[in-house]
Amino acid sequence: MTDPAGTDPEPLIDVRGLEKVFTVRRKAGRLRRVREEVRAVDGITFQVPRGEMVGYIGPNGAGKSTTIKMLTGILVPSGGRLRIAGIDPARERTRLARRIGVVFGQRTTLWWDLPLADSYELVRRMYRIPDAVYRANLARCVELLDLAPLLAVPVRQLSLGQRMRGDIAAALLHDPEVLYLDEPTIGLDVISKAKVREFVREVNAERGTTVLLTTHDLTDIEQLCRRVMVIDHGRLVYDGALDGLRAAADGERTLVVDLERELPPIDGVPGARTVRVEGPRQWLVFPAAQSAAPLVTAVAERYPLVDLSLREPDVESLIAELYARGATGTEPGRRTPDGQGAPA
Binding residue for another protein, selected from 3, 113, 262, 307, defined by CB under 8 A: 113
Applying CB under 8 A, which part among 101-109, 144-152, 258-266, 335-343 lies near another protein?
101-109
Binding-residue total with another protein (CB under 8 A): 32
* Smaller CB separation from another protein, 129 or 248: 129
Residues 281-340 that bind another protein (CB under 8 A): none
Q: What is each CA distance from 1 to 201, 248, 338, in whole angstroms?
A: 14, 21, 8
Q: Does 21 bind another protein (CB under 8 A)?
A: no
* Smaller CB separation from another protein, 106 or 309: 106
Q: Does 202 bind another protein (CB under 8 A)?
A: no
CB–CB of 101/171 below 8 Å?
yes
Q: What is each CA distance from 118 to 82, 151, 262, 267, in whole angstroms?
A: 34, 8, 69, 69
Binding residue for another protein, selected from 25, 33, 81, 95, defined by CB under 8 A: 95
Applying CB under 8 A, which part among 43-51, 106-114, 262-270, 300-308 lies near another protein?
106-114
* Smaller CB separation from another protein, 127 or 283: 127
Site string for another protein, 37-76 (x = CB under 8 A): ------------------------x---x---x--xxxxx
Give 40's DSSP letter.
E
Nearest to 127 by CA among 115, 114, 104, 109: 109
* Smaller CB separation from another protein, 138 or 241: 138
User: Hey, is 117 helix, strand or coil?
Assistant: helix
CB–CB of 43/80 below 8 Å?
yes
d(CA 211, CA 204): 7
* Smaller CB separation from another protein, 7 or 22: 22
Give 87's DSSP letter.
B
d(CA 251, CA 287): 6
Q: Does 175 bind another protein (CB under 8 A)?
A: no
- For the CB of residue 106, give the shortest distance to another protein in the complex, in Å: 6
d(CA 56, CA 216): 9
Q: Identify the bridge partners of residue 222 per DSSP, sorted by sequence position.
A: none
Q: Does 218 bind another protein (CB under 8 A)?
A: no
Q: Does 92 bind another protein (CB under 8 A)?
A: yes
Q: What is each CA distance from 6 to 208, 270, 277, in whole angstroms?
A: 19, 39, 48
CB–CB of 317/251 below 8 Å?
yes
Length of the chain: 344
Binding residue for another protein, selected from 28, 126, 324, 327, defined by CB under 8 A: 126
Q: Does 216 bind another protein (CB under 8 A)?
A: no
Binding residue for another protein, selected from 81, 91, 156, 273, defined by CB under 8 A: 91
Applying CB under 8 A, which part among 107-115, 221-229, 249-257, 286-294 lies near another protein?
107-115
Binding residue for another protein, selected from 127, 250, 292, 305, defined by CB under 8 A: 127
CB-based contacts of 13, cutoff 8 Å, min separation 6? 46, 47, 48, 71, 83, 84, 178, 210, 212
Applying CB under 8 A, which part among 112-120, 189-197, 292-300, 320-328 lies near another protein?
112-120
d(CA 64, CA 60): 8
Binding residues for another protein, rule: CB under 8 A, are 22, 61, 65, 69, 72-76, 90-95, 97-98, 100, 102, 104, 106-109, 111, 113-114, 118, 122, 125-127
